[in-house]
Amino acid sequence: MEQYYAERLFTGNEFLQQQVVTVADGSIVDIAAAGTIAERPSKQYEIIAPAFMDIQIYGAHGKLLAVYPEADSLHKLYDYCSKGGASHFQATVATNSKEVFFACIDAVRAYWKEGGKGCIGLHVEGPWLHPVRKGAHIESFIHSPSVEEARELLEYGKGVITMITLAPEVCSREVIDLVRSYGVVISAGHSNATYEEATAAFNAGIPAATHLYNAMSPLQHRAPGIVGAIFDHPRVMASIVPDGFHVDFAAIRIAKKILQERLFVITDAVTETSEGPYPHHLAADRYESNGILSGSALTMASSVRNLVNKVGIELGEALRMVSLYPAQVMNRDKQMGKIAKGYKANLVMLDNALQVQALVTA
């Protein structure tokens, strides 16, 4: 049994002052005011909050998963994520060949077999995208899928693939229904969909959209596009990359006012590499590939600092955007994203400057 004292405890719903969290066997068994505890725990922190979850990250410490599809790449991803306050992550592979996708699936299975922690599955971003909105993705790989191709990928990745980003306007209804039948979360992205096409896709059950504003048809007053459809829809959630390069901080503030609890954070982080079709190079706190913005250098903790200090979002809401809301997208909010009795003990300890001090993972 372990006990942790928080000057401020964020439960996922509210801040409580001077609380002690008791953990046993990987679960939270008690939360009590410090004044009711006989002896204050030795482990004391200024802020304790639900640990973060990053559901779109490609590599870390010089090992991009698509280039090094092996368990060690995922160990490096876990190290990077945990230092940024994230107890869980969804490894991501961008538009590539079938062989690379299959190798990444194998890598996740190998990582789990070794007892690797934190990886909730694989996010396959592409290749079923619109070429006009390819961003840094390789156009020669981009295409519309057949039902047979989709089934082959889903069967090979069964139990490993947890999310697929696709452009709904280039995928048949049969393909989208097939993906959903495997329990895979679909996120609409790299899409040139009209407002009408995107709204129909969201109404048909697509619950999320990938990196709002980036690589999607923009909001215009005579053509609202997929951005307009996201803003106008009552349920669809959208990720955003809050580094000031992918999206201006004012645009994040505008989106937050509209989407409220439907907006959540991904880092979209990559790592330095000169190998493979995506040679990412660090340029002023972001990465570029072949001269195109290709990924961020964020951690989830630096994302929180940007949301609070540069966007002006209240701290509790910023913490939800990196914990509870991603957990909701991935249907894991019954055990993650909150600090409550019975929940898994995934806790991040922060100082008042929002720097990570420690991480507890179940």
Whole-number Å distance between alpha carbons of 56 and 108: 15
Nearest to 297 by CA among 4, 5, 58, 6: 58
15-24: strand order across its sheet: 27-33, 15-24, 2-10, 44-50, 347-350, 356-360
Residue 152 CA, distance from chain mean position: 25
Active site residue 268: yes
Half-sphere exposure of 37 (CA within 13 A, CB side): 18
Nearest to 96 by CA among 136, 126, 55, 129: 126
Task: Tell me the three state secondary structure of residue 168.
Answer: helix
What stretch of H or E contains 198? helix 195-203
Whole-number Å distance between alpha carbons of 323 and 333: 9
Residue 288 CA, distance from chain mean position: 20
161-166: strand order across its sheet: 52-57, 86-94, 119-125, 161-166, 185-188, 208-209, 237-240, 263-265
Catalytic residue, from 54, 243, 268, 333: name it: 268
- CA distance readout (Å), 165 to 42, 128, 154, 289, 308: 45, 8, 13, 20, 28
292-296: strand order across its sheet: 280-282, 286-289, 292-296
Structure tokens at 141: 């790989």
Whole-number Å distance between alpha carbons of 303 and 259: 18
The DSSP-derived string for 93-157 is EES--HHHHHHHHHHHHHHHHTT--SEEEEEEE-SSS-GGG-TTS-GGG--PPPHHHHHHHHHHT
Residue whose token pair is 């693939």: 161
Active site residue ranges: 268
